[in-house]
Structure 1
């Protein structure tokens, strides 16, 4: 690597991760790109280095494997990056009776455990200079329990709450932490799991490029939560108001009358 700031992108071989890599290279960041598919990573890294004049490292890792995750954690702690895009994830979609416990555990290792450990490792590096950008890719499905997507929905709810809690911890610091909540994106997400894109109507999709450009604009504007397809910002304010009212009520120290014996 050169002396430029380094951006680390997981799940970088295609889709959202590859677009983040492209956009960050265009902004002059050196890159450390991580994904399982070494051939795709190598092709992307060679192209971005040539087109943008940046240094690119590619690490072919399965982040669901603790032994493969550990070297990346150590790298983030010992050689602080400027940016971490926690994009790697899987869907594990389908009825749990068919997909089984092993597939759900593998999803949790990647979507939850790897994201958590890499976030904390990056923050260890960021604290050395009180600077850095941590971007965690959640999903609008964090608000939508889903038959056939139990662990995926649960994992994205974790990502959202985990990221929001970190934002509270680091409030007032020079470290920026953002949660990005995509809706349906035109990527390989569904096809890689043997599902058609017709899960959603064609009009529901936006491109990975539009998603990333909106997310980077949100980060630059200081947004903690970026939902690129939320056309009415007041909807989020309404949800937040309802959430706070709910929490205020449930710490009132009383059992609801409906649960008292007649």
Structure 2
């Protein structure tokens, strides 16, 4: 049987380019998506020459509605696509109060809205087939408001919740959903965000990040956090979260909100 085609967004460089490389070396044909057509063409030519897989280039700016719609159509109509890697993302330096509204709108459009729309485009077809996978690249920043990247972190928290919700809905139908939460990774996102690269701390290499994420993919992990060495911490976090759920059905406020101050 032929392996499913993989569509990777943000594939022109960094994490997306390495995902494309790794899936090509696993024998998967690809659809690679990004804004930079020349980079995509170069990557497609290299991967085809080195691995023999077919690589289609789809230029799209995922902040633009019409471009997202074209990628959605490919996901809906191309029955060979069985894996979506939602990797495209942007970031902007600076504090929330100092960031431009247009930059914040673009950040939400690419990091959250496009991720949701592309997953929504492919999910019905994968569920009907009873197989397939959606991989959403989030970030540990979505768990750490203390880092101060408020809107970026909010979009990544959205990606995590979206992934967990989709796993709950689609898992019983045979569709695997994985959220990958990198920490600081050595990609171009830092320079594009306007950060001073000379002042950045040591970061995980992109190859190491993707290889770890694919190890989680092969194990069918719901959430993969490559920099977290003590996996029991995540397990405990999840157990504490689940332990709260029965309390959310209470019909009266907790006593601490109704007791008279002494």
Distance in 1 separating the partners of 2:104 and 2:237: 29
Report deviation, 1:131. Answer: 1.1
SS in 2 for 1:186: coil
Q: Cα distance 1:151–1:220, how it changes in 2: closer, same or farther (>3 A)?
A: same
Report deviation, 1:251. Answer: 3.0
Distance in 1 separating the partners of 2:142 and 2:198: 21
Q: Cα distance 1:199–1:77, how it changes in 2: closer, same or farther (>3 A)?
A: farther
Report deviation, 1:63. Answer: 0.9
Q: In the TM superposition, what are the counterparts of 1:21-60 in structure 2 within 5 Å?
A: 21-60=20-59
What TM-score do the two structures reach when normalised by structure 1? 0.93
- In structure 2, runs of 5+ residues without a counterpart are none
* 2:239 is the alignment partner of 1:241: yes
- Tell me, yes or no, if the aligned pair for 2:127 and 2:173 is still in contact at 8 Å: no
- Tell me, yes or no, if the aligned pair for 2:5 and 2:82 is still in contact at 8 Å: yes
Distance in 2 separating the partners of 1:76 and 1:121: 6
Report deviation, 1:97. Answer: 2.6
- Tell me, yes or no, if the aligned pair for 2:62 and 2:110 is still in contact at 8 Å: yes
Which position in structure 2 is the counterpart of 1:183?
183
- Tell me, yes or no, if the aligned pair for 2:76 and 2:125 is still in contact at 8 Å: yes
Q: Structure 1 residues 124-133 or 14-23, which shifts more?
A: 124-133
- Tell me, yes or no, if the aligned pair for 1:141 and 1:153 is still in contact at 8 Å: yes
Q: CA RMSD in A?
A: 1.7
Question: How many residue pairs were aligned?
Answer: 258
Distance in 1 separating the partners of 2:76 and 2:133: 14
Which position in structure 2 is the counterpart of 1:83?
83
Which position in structure 2 is the counterpart of 1:207?
205
Report deviation, 1:233. Answer: 1.2
What TM-score do the two structures reach when normalised by structure 2? 0.93
Q: Structure 1 residues 220-229 or 189-198, which shifts more?
A: 189-198
